[in-house]
Amino acid sequence: MKTEYDLWKIFPRMPKKVTIGDITIRDGFQHSEKFVSTEAKIFYGQELILAGCRELEVTNLGSPATTPQFRDADEVMKAMRSEEFKKRASKKGINIDKDVTLTCVTIRETAVDRAIEMKKNGYGPDRILMMVSTDPEHHFANSGTTLSQYWREAEKCIAKARAAGLKMCGTVSTIWGSPISGATKMEDAVEFTKRWFSIGAHDIEHADHDGSANAADVYRYFSMVLDAMPNPEAHLCHLHETKRVASSSILAALQAGICRFESTLGGLGGQPANFLDDTPIKGTGDYYYDDPRFVGLICSEDLLVQIDELGIEHGYDVDRILWLGKKMEKTLGGRLRSEAIHNGRTIKAGHMKFARPGLKKLVEKEGEKPGQRVPAEWPENVLLPEKYGPADPLWKK
């Protein structure tokens, strides 16, 4: 039987077009132990939209005591909704109010109320986000509630949000494991996804917040999800990179049929910082890792190069994203996790500036034809020997 080489025939659910949301200025910056200026947050948020981002997570509306990185949430949101930026975007053919979804994280009801008030005042988000973990310990660390308490609160908040015209994204975390309690059941996450939809959530972020996922389990999980809830637009893949295997999990999610992803410039992000500038802060307590530098999301730059070279449509100006990645290293004062911004994209035209000038002369000297690849006297069709590789008697000692 002939092998099928077409990836889309092997994996018929695999999309040919994806949406990649960027959450740099929220999740990316929440893990920073230095305050990122309001001007920088606005710059990157706006530039990401101009580079093609259509789903942007802008800020966290939680308590500044826990996450003081976002004490400028109102200013940043106002800048995203400003007439000045709308005009600038319009010149690029982008209608901010119609083409771009702006999201704020609202873990608790007070933050949801704040989002609703911001919307009433003309600069609020289009979408807000609440989060549960299938591991009760991880959930308590993030929200301070039991799961039952939180589900009741989420149901109430979704009703409020819908009445105000806000979409609610329900996040399910610890799908593939928890940094606190260890192994978890993927079936629990499928059930939690159904529960989010049952109480009115608009879409679901399926999150690997600690890098526990592997490609086989990612494929298995998202296949389970899409078997049970077949609309791929309703599901969003959120993978953290702790072991340099997230790109394989991205491919597995694509093969399962997922078409929406999230990422950050430089692979930033992770657990909320428990230190800001020179001051210890609450955050969500002690870090789960001995080295908290390597816990962020998959890199926007590398992910885009991966998606682009798979031939999947994504809507971004890849070169502009690589440029932004280089700027981000200067903003945060050090080497981040993207390889693509340093090594570039695969250029099909090659890099002929590195070609050695002596080859043409050597070809002429040998009397070979331009482009000749094997000796002229060799047969056109390759003839394999009867025994080769491990079958060759000399293979074994």
**Segment among 77-81, 85-89, 204-208, 279-283 with least mean pLDDT:** 279-283
* Whether residue 329 is found in the same domain as residue 378: no
CATH number of the domain that residue 270 is part of = 3.20.20.70
Residue at which a domain ends, from 343, 365, 383: 343
Contact 59, 26 (CB under 8 A): yes
- The mean pLDDT value for 277-300 works out to 86
Q: Say which amino acid occupies 214.
A: N
Output the average pLDDT for the chain: 94
Closest CA to 133 of 287, 264, 258, 271: 271
**Burial grade of 226 (CB within 10 A; 0-12, 13-18, 19 or more):** middle
Q: What pLDDT shows up at residue 395?
A: 82
**Segment among 62-66, 113-117, 155-159, 201-205 with least mean pLDDT:** 62-66
pLDDT digits (tens, 9 = 90+) for 222-235: 999 999 999 999 99
Q: Is residue 81 part of a domain?
A: yes
- The mean pLDDT value for 26-53 works out to 97
Q: How many domains does the chain have?
A: 2
Is the confidence at residue 46, as pLDDT, over 90? yes
Q: Is residue 5 part of a domain?
A: no
pLDDT digits (tens, 9 = 90+) for 73-127: 999 999 999 999 999 999 999 999 999 999 999 999 999 999 999 999 999 999 9
* Whether residue 282 is found in the same domain as residue 364: no
Closest CA to 21 of 169, 131, 225, 211: 169
Task: Tell me the CB-side half-sphere exposure of residue 168, using CA atoms within 13 A.
Answer: 29
Domain span holding position 365:
352-391
Residue 348 pLDDT grade (very low, low, confident, very high; cuts 50, 70, 90): confident
Token pair for 285: 């307590």
For residues 304 and 155, what is the distance between their CA atoms, to the nearest angstrom? 35
Is the confidence at residue 64, as pLDDT, over 90? no
Q: Is residue 9 part of a domain?
A: no
Residue at which a domain ends, from 307, 323, 343: 343
Q: What pLDDT shows up at residue 397?
A: 65
**Segment among 37-41, 73-77, 378-382 with least mean pLDDT:** 378-382
What's the pTM value of the predicted model, to 2 decimals?
0.93
Per DSSP, the residues of 313-330 read: B----HHHHHHHHHHHHH
Residue whose tokens read 């309690």: 181
* Whether residue 215 is found in the same domain as residue 283: yes
